[in-house]
Structure 1
Amino acid sequence: MKHIISNTKKRFGKTRLLLVGLVFAASLPVMAMNLQQAMAALSQAKVQGLVGEQPNGYLGVVESSADAEAVVKLINDARRAEYVRMAKQNDIAVADVEAIAGQKAIERTASGHFILIDGKWLQKR
């Protein structure tokens, strides 16, 4: 009986380890996404309604998915770096650059894509 219990524990331990490994392996493509890949995926993510533009100059996740979150993070990090650079270059606050960029991004957003207005995601008409 002890032998059966011992083998069962080993088997479940290996199964658990295998499951953790599979979950980790499945997440690798998302974790490995670079900025160029994120930029390439952005248009499709907007068409699918996964991401949208916000008035603060950054992308937001409309419908959560690992890929959408990775795209948003990578592009927002790049946007933030550019906003900081522009603010320093023009001796203005980063918040001002973000607000201007957000306004322009919303104006340029294609019909049918999502924008954040008054805290709600709406499809632009």
Structure 2
Amino acid sequence: MKFINMLVRSKALKALLLSTAFAISMPVLAMNLQQAMSALPNAKIQGLVGEQPNGYLGVVQANNQDAEAIAKLINDARRAEYARLAKDNNIAVSDVEAMAGQKAVERTQRGHYILLDGNWLQKR
């Protein structure tokens, strides 16, 4: 009987530890693309992320999990769209990235960050 009680407690302890580890990691896993898109304007205003000439978002302030999650989700979506556009137009993905990057930098609002010559600068 003691063995069964120990086994039940051990399984319960393992389940508790696994659920705790999962709960701790949930905030990072919880964001989806729609939430990232909704959070993007505020992240740009706060100077957390900015546009790069390569067509992708960059993290301006390192070690910010929200900024990293936003950039990753949006960049993954952009990457897929660039690949689709390149295929549909029979051009290189790098050409689509360059065109998108140029447009993104040009359209960036004043006060938001852009990457120029390897440095993050607020657009004036």
Indicate whether the TM-score tops 0.5: yes
Q: What does residue 31 of structure 1 align with? A: 29
Q: What does residue 55 of structure 2 align with? A: 57
Q: What does residue 117 of structure 1 align with? A: 116
TM, length-normalised to structure 2: 0.81
SS at match of 1:110: coil
- Hey, what's the Cα distance between the residues in 2 that align with 1:26 and 1:122? 34
Amino acid corresponding to residue 101 of structure 1 in structure 2? A
Moved over 4 A (4+): none
Amino acid corresponding to residue 117 of structure 2 in structure 1? D
Cα drift, residue 26 of structure 1: 4.1
Q: What does residue 7 of structure 1 align with? A: none
Q: What does residue 3 of structure 1 align with? A: none
Cα drift, residue 45 of structure 1: 0.3
- Hey, what's the Cα distance between the residues in 1 that align with 2:93 and 2:74? 17
Cα root mean square deviation, aligned: 1.7
* Structure 1 counterpart of 2:41, from 36, 40, 43: 43
Deviation string, structure 1 residues 63-114 (Cα, Å, up to 9, x no partner): 0210000000000000000000000000000000000000000000000000
Q: What does residue 65 of structure 2 align with? A: 66
- Hey, what's the Cα distance between the residues in 1 that align with 2:101 and 2:58? 11
Cα drift, residue 31 of structure 1: 1.2
Percentage of matched positions with identical amino acids: 74
Greater alpha carbon shift after TM alignment, 26-35 vs 87-96: 26-35
- Hey, what's the Cα distance between the residues in 2 that align with 1:26 and 1:124? 37
Amino acid corresponding to residue 36 of structure 2 in structure 1? A
Is 2:77 the counterpart of 1:78? yes
Structure 2, unpaired ranges of 5+: 1-12
Instruction: Report how many aligned residue pairs link the two structures.
Output: 107
Within-5 A mapping of 1:90-109: 90-109=89-108
TM, length-normalised to structure 1: 0.80
- Hey, what's the Cα distance between the residues in 2 that align with 1:26 and 1:38? 20
